[in-house]
Amino acid sequence: MAEDSNRSRLGRGLAALIGDVGDEFAAQTRQTSAGTQKVPIEFLRPNPRNPRKIFNAEALDDLAASIRERGLIQPIIVRALPGVADVYEIIAGERRWRAAQRANLHQVPIVVVEADDRVALEIAIIENVQRTDLSPLEEAAGYEQLIAEFNYSQNDLAQIIGKSRSHVANTLRLSRLPASIKQLVNDGELSAGHARALLTVADPEAVARQILTQGLTVRDVERIAQRDTQGEGEGGGNRRAARAKPEKDPDTRALEQALEEVLGLVVSIEHKANGGGEVKVRYKTLDQLDNLCRRLRG
C-alpha cells in the first residue's frame, strides 16, 4: 500500500523538485544536497535508460540561444554514480544539458537526488510526458520498460503520469507497428492518430503509403480498417457506406482528432443545419467512462 501511495504521488513530487509545490518530492526521492548547486558541465552523463532518444537539432539551437541570453534557469535533476567521484547521471533535463553544451556553458545548475533505477525511469517519463517532449513511440517504449522491468500494470502507469488507462493502452499498442511505420512517426510524417488507426488495417504499410500520397485522414484509415474487418472489397459495399455517411470537412475531422488525443477515446462531431450539433464520445469499458467523468469534473 505504501508503494502504491508513493507511485500516485510521484507526479506532484516532480513538480516540487523543480520548485512548483512545497516539499512533496520527499515522498519518492531524497535530496542529498542543500538545494541547487553548480558543477562543471562535463561532470554530467546522459542516462542510457532515458525514454527520449530523439533530440531535434533546430530545437536545441533555439534553446541554446535562449540559454546564452538568460542562462540555464531550471536545474538538471541528477543522481550520483556509485563508485565514481564527481560524476552524475542525468535523470531529467538531458535536453537542457545538450543545449547548454551548444551554448558553451562551463557550469550548469543541478539538484542531486537519491533514486533507484525504477524511480529514475519514472521521473524521466513524467517530466517528458508533462512537457509533451516525448514522441508517441518513445512514450510507448518507456511504458514498456516499466512494465517489463518493474511489473507495472497499466493502472499504475496511468496514476503515475496523470493520464487515463485508455491513453496508456493506446500508446502501448503503437509498439506493435512495423519498423517502417515507426520511422515515419518518429520523422513526423505520420501522426499518433494515424499510427493507432493503422494498427487495425490488414496491410498497414500499404495504407501508410496512401496516407502520404493521398493525404488520408485518421477517419479515412478507420474506414479502411472497418472494410477490412467486414471483408468488403472495392465494390458496392464501399459505395453504399460512402453514400450513407458524407465526408466531413477537414476542420471537423481535425477537431475530432484533437479531442481523441486528449481523451484517449473515439470522438464524433456531427453538425446540423440549424447551427447546433452533437459531440459523441465512445467508450468500451466502465473504467473508460469513469476516467472521462473525472476529467470533465476536473
Q: How confident is the model at residue 53 (pLDDT cuts 50, 70, 90)?
A: confident
Q: What's the mean pLDDT in 71-81?
A: 86
Residue 120 has pLDDT above 60, yes or no: yes
Q: Domain 2-172 is of which CATH architecture?
A: Alpha-Beta Complex (3.90)
pLDDT attached to residue 108:
92
> Each residue of 145-181: pLDDT tens digit?
778 877 878 888 888 777 788 888 888 888 888 888 9
Confidence of residue 103 (pLDDT cuts 50, 70, 90): very high
Average pLDDT, the chain: 75
Ordered by start, the domain boundaries in the chain are: 2-172, 177-247, 248-298
| Portion of the chain with pLDDT greater than 70, in percent | 79
The confidence score (pLDDT) of residue 33 equals 45
Q: Dihedral through CA 251, CA 252, CA 253, CA 255, nearest 10?
A: 90
Quickly list H helices, the chain: 2-17, 57-70, 94-102, 117-130, 136-150, 154-161, 165-173, 179-186, 192-198, 204-214, 218-230, 236-244, 250-263, 286-297
Query: What does the pLDDT look like over 215-232, one tens digit per residue?
Result: 888 888 988 888 877 765
pLDDT band, very low/low/confident/very high, at 6 (cuts 50, 70, 90)? very low
* Mean pLDDT in residue range 11-21: 36
| Residue scoring higher pLDDT (98 or 187) | 98
Active site residues: 94
d(CA 28, CA 11): 10
Q: Determine the Cα–Cα distance for residues 61 and 100; give it in Å rounded to an integer.
A: 10
Say yes or no to pLDDT of 111 above 70.
Answer: yes
* Predicted confidence (pLDDT) at residue 5 exceeds the cutoff of 60: no
Looking at the DSSP assignment, which residues form a beta bridge with residue 268?
A: 280
Collapse the DSSP code of 169 into the 3-class scheme (helix H, G, I; strand E, B; otherwise coil) and give the result.
helix
